[in-house]
Amino acid sequence: MKILLGVCGSISAYRSLDVCRQLVKDAHEVKVVLTKGALEFVKPQVFKYLGAQEVFTANDDFNLEAMKDRSVLHIELSKWAQRILIAPASANTLAKLANGICDDLLTSIFLASAKTTTVIFPAMNTNMLRHPLTETNFQRLKSLNSVFIHPTKEGLLACGDEGEGKLSDVDLIASVAPIVELGPIKRKILITTGATIAPLDPVRYLTNPSSGKTGYELAKQYLKDGHQVTLIAGRHACKEIDYLTHLPKAKVLRVSTTKQMHVVVKAHFDDHDTYISSAALSDIEFPQSSKKIKKSELGDSLSISRAPDVLKDMLSRKKDQKIVGFAAESNVELETFLKKWRDKPVDVLVGNFVSANHDQVSVGFGSAENDYTILKNGKEYFTGRLSKSELAQKIELALDH
């Protein structure tokens, strides 16, 4: 994606350097525009060292000698950008944007980009953030169909105060800015991800190493393409899932046990067009004790029962929904996954290899890449190695064609 990164005068401007570096690392094309205030905190050439294609300052529109071989700069950049990201956004620049003032390059680009999605991450003192005029400016900007303003963080501010106004984390900014879509909702996608737990008592439980990153990548893929996503994650799934919490088409829920997952999925299933069951659910339950079981009370075996089979139940409730199931297996022969599909005939079945010994790195759960076998309507659709983001794209493609 072609991203124009706007940087304003804020003590947190130095963090825009890391945002730039991460966007470039994620294979985005980045050009940077600095306001006059930003130059008090960061140097233009550093962005070039970090991979930005070009870096511009506030008055470059009027630098006729440097721009003599170019067209009108703010128009050129407004046509180039597929996404405008302003991080950090100062109270001063927000006021200009909200009132249509274009007295420098960044504000001129914004006014020339009414159809380009602009993602804004503010940073300022709490009192400035909560001033009625700033809140009015927020509301004016939010009324535009092309502008999304992410909430600030709470914490210790540069002035020593505690409160709202901190710039969001770099990883969050770089992750969500490219996937914000503000157009009409296409389809509603329900995704489960991460591990559930089977509690034995208040301090012990059985679980598995699933990180929830597959569901996170699926959610990002569908959000980027304009779908509404409900993501139900295990309580201990990766923190990146919470990056999606404030996005306009995302809903993030956390659960602990398989029973809780079952209840929440049932409550949302009928209202969604697609259900992707990528969670690694615990399939057993213990008779849970309300008090810690003492060592002297533990025997040589534990009483277990079966947990609800959430995917099988949703298949029985299916109307027009498309359903994707996952099967983690150590035996990855095609017949293994065909047997799984015959038991639960989902539209798409994703089989993945899992293996681990106590003295080895786990393969499958938490791995950046893995070997997958994908069945579509009971027939082999794909076999090969994929990253989790590539897998998300492959699943979307399998469902759409």
Please list the active-site residues. 159
CA gap 338, 345 in Å, rounded:
9
What are the distances in angstroms from CA 185 to CA 66, 158, 188?
43, 39, 8
Exposure of 401 by Cβ count < 10 A (0-12 exposed, 13-18 middle, 19+ buried)?
exposed
- Could you tell me the sign of the dihedral formed by the alpha carbons of 228, 234, 239, 242, in that order? positive
| Euclidean distance between the first and the last CA atom of the chain, given in angstroms as a whole number | 24
> Rounded to an integer, what distance in angstroms lies between the CA atom of residue 235 and that of residue 260?
11
As a whole number of angstroms, the distance between CA 357 and CA 363 comes to 10
Q: How far apart are CA 127 and CA 91, in angstroms?
A: 11
The CA distance from 390 to 369, in Å, is 9
Residue 310 tokens read as 């959430």
DSSP 156-220: E-TTS-EEEEEPPPHHHHHHHGGG---S----EEEEEESB-BEEEETTEEE-----SHHHHHHHH
